[in-house]
Structure 1
């Protein structure tokens, strides 16, 4: 009898050990890398909503190891890092890869756009579906988009009073890319290129008088502390999408139920991000006003001046010419298709 009990207990132990080993084998460990630190609108959303939702929709099968603030890779290394499998997932800002993602750079040539995130993501999904050059660029890098987010609209933060767009004239202003600098130049400002990490000091020392960038970014980086005059509008969408990517080969190698779980989690998160986006804009403005900063909302006339329809057409033609020279032979077709879809998105 004693011998029977010992055998039974040993069998139970071995079964438990086997089940535990099976569970461990079924656990999928994935890395997520982000060059921004937690504490911002997007990073907090990714950390507290999207990544937990992936674990939830895969019933705990996927476990994600997070790397923030460029701890694993910087913003200009991450696209290759995801494609090479150094990390399975990560955040990519397409503007940092004009050579590899030339089609994506077109979005900087649309300074006015949808004010609601649900219409922005509709636009992004539609151009990916109807303009194959966007997906092809990512596939060539061995990545695919699983979720879109976006920065808050572009905003002006200046050391000098900003009653309207004319007040940038003659002052030294920074933007993050050549197209933004061209828009500043067209508005009468003196365009200056300054690395993102040096902007606060440049404002503080007077190297520049102002900075045009996404509203949440300038507040997170505290540019408004040293340049407390703000000019804002929800119409000045930050057109370049924020891409949350996964290694394409890795994704294709996952079981179908895990793939579906990741995509479902991303769909749910995108819908939730619309509320986060709206609240964040109002929160930034409220905090700035509470701090005593001067926040002015742009008039329709100012928005039209910034967009500068005549100059905009010239810049779009320049983009087509440069993109064709860079190897995107269908650049004119891409421009025509994106223009049409952008008009639809703006009218929604």
Structure 2
């Protein structure tokens, strides 16, 4: 079993030494030497680097996540499902220890930490790294789009199986996708009722990424860049009029306490997270263990989606008592703006990148269009 700082963060005797090494490593991440620097840091901490392929003893792998352990949402529940199933399907010989709440690597540090082998599994919030992983952020360039959470998961699975460029983009950073976790289908949560395109004119709407600013402008509204953690106060104080979000996240962030109109505008599901592995670790697994990981990855999207749908159903059932009104937005009015040159410019940016990588871009894009 692996030992050292990253396998026992509660060990106070080495805690300060490990924290200092991690801090130095993270500084070096930003200077381009993350893999080599992280490797030296792990050696200094006595982290074992033996290949499981040549090691018959039990292995404990590390899963790095920003999600708090007690969150109780679909992300946390499905992560624990994966961990429990991995142990069961390897007959207890191997297990995964989850380092919750960014205790080893924060959200934006996880890709580099996984690349360097600080952890073996982890959650990568793909839209945060659209320049690093543009192909795997395809959906983020095509909002609105008509697919649901599970449909986007299956599209990602298909693209990875059919087009090697998707996997190679991750392999360039010593990463491999073993599962997909799209976000829920989004609408708009607003502080006043929105019933038509005319009602959106001049509204201040939270945006992020590539597609949302262009879409909001095409709708005649004003894009406002505000962090997720600051959106509650922005809605409460009328800095924002609306934010794109789904019911589960609206409830989780408590936005539905201060914004009481959920607009069913069909923005579609956004691609959210890759369940990623350190590629070297994946390749070093014996065939039986790797097959377990592959099978769990195939089943993960359904397990996650089942939990997500339960949460969404519960949230919607509770909204009337909280005074939240659900309003249907005319789909045709949303679709009518998609040809706007600003929206098309964002889509063409992804198409150009995909074609440069040798992908049949239009074949992929056709699955993201109304």
Q: Under TM normalisation by the shorter chain, which class is it? A: 0.7 to 0.9
After superposition, the C-alpha distances for 1:19-56 in whole angstroms (9 at most, x for unaligned) are xxxxx972211111111224253323324422211111
SS in 1 for 2:108: coil
Map residues 200-279 of structure 1 onto 2, 5 A cutoff. 200-232=232-264, 235-279=266-310
1:139/1:248 contact within 8 Å kept: yes
Map of 2:66 onto structure 1: 35
Q: 1:122 aligns with which of 143, 150, 154?
A: 154
The reply on whether 1:339 has 2:365 as its aligned counterpart is yes
How far apart are residue 257 of structure 1 and its match? Answer: 1.3
Shift of the alpha carbon at 1:239?
2.9
Residue 332 of structure 1: how far off its partner (Å)? 8.2
Matched with 1:16 is: none
1:330 correspondence with 2:356: yes
Pairwise CA distance, 1:316: 1.5
Task: Give, in angstroms, the shift of residue 259 of structure 1.
Answer: 1.1
Contact 1:123 1:342 in 2 (8 A): no
Kindly tell me the number of residue pairs found equivalent between the two proteins: 313
The residue correspondences of 1:17-56 to structure 2 (distance < 5 A) are 26-37=57-68, 38-39=70-71, 41-56=73-88
Q: Map 1:312-323 to 2 at 5 A.
A: 312-320=343-351, 323=353
Structure 2 spans left out of the alignment, 5+ residues: 1-54
Aligned equivalent of 2:194, options 153, 162, 177: 162
- Please tell me whether the aligned partners of residues 168 and 189 of structure 1 are also in contact (alpha carbons under 8 angstroms): yes
Provide the C-alpha distance between the structure 2 equivalents of 1:116 and 1:80, rounded to a whole number of angstroms: 27
- Give secondary structure in 1 for the equivalent of 2:364: helix
Measure the CA separation in 1 of the matches of 2:197 and 2:85: 42
Given candidates 64, 67, 75, the residue that maps to 2:96 is 64
Q: Counterparts of 1:133 and 1:91 in 2: how far apart (Å)?
A: 21
1:77 aligns to what SS in structure 2? helix
1:8-28 deviation digits (Å, cap 9, x = unpaired): xxxxxxxxxxxxxxxx97221
Shift of the alpha carbon at 1:240? 1.5
| 1:174-193 map, 5 Å | 174-193=206-225
Question: SS of 2:268's equivalent?
Answer: coil
Cross-structure match for 2:28: none
User: Cα offset for 1:320?
Assistant: 4.0
Contact kept in structure 2, 1:159 and 1:228, CA below 8 Å: yes
CA contact (8 A) 1:113 1:237 kept: yes
Q: Deviations over 1:74-127 (max 9, x none)?
A: 21111111111111111011111122112223312322222361x322211111
Contact 1:131 / 1:337 at 8 angstroms: preserved in 2?
Answer: no
Does the 8 Å contact 1:57/1:262 carry over to 2? no
In structure 1, runs of 5+ residues without a counterpart are: 1-23
Scaled by the length of structure 2, what TM-score is found? 0.77
Task: Supply the RMSD in Å over aligned alpha carbons.
Answer: 2.4
- Match of residue 113, structure 1, among 125, 139, 146: 146
Match of 2:108 in 1: 76
Distance (Å, rounded) in 2 between the aligned partners of 1:40 and 1:331: 39
Conserved? CA contact 2:66–2:106, under 8 Å: yes
Do the aligned partners of residues 261 and 167 (structure 1) sit closer, same or farther apart at CA in structure 2, a change above 3 Å counting? same
Larger radius of gyration: 1
